[in-house]
Amino acid sequence: MLEQIKTTIQRSRDTLLSDAIGAMALMVILIVGLHLPNFS
């Protein structure tokens, strides 16, 4: 199983960073959206 994970990471190395940035952006949007009612 560990070998499969290593192979997957090596094959998708160019898109892995952009996917991680996209996931972090979605988390920021979610957190900000949940805190918006507190500002009004």
Residue 7, pLDDT score: 92
d(CA 35, CA 20) in angstroms, rounded, equals 23
- Helix and strand totals (H; E) in the chain: 2, 0
Residue 40, pLDDT score: 62
d(CA 36, CA 29) in angstroms, rounded, equals 10
Domain ranges for the chain, please list them.
2-39
Encode pLDDT of 2-35 as tens digits: 999 899 888 988 898 899 999 999 999 999 999 8
Residue 37, pLDDT score: 83
Query: What sign for the dihedral angle of Cα 20, 22, 17, 13?
Result: positive
CA angle 9, 20, 18 (to 5 degrees): 85
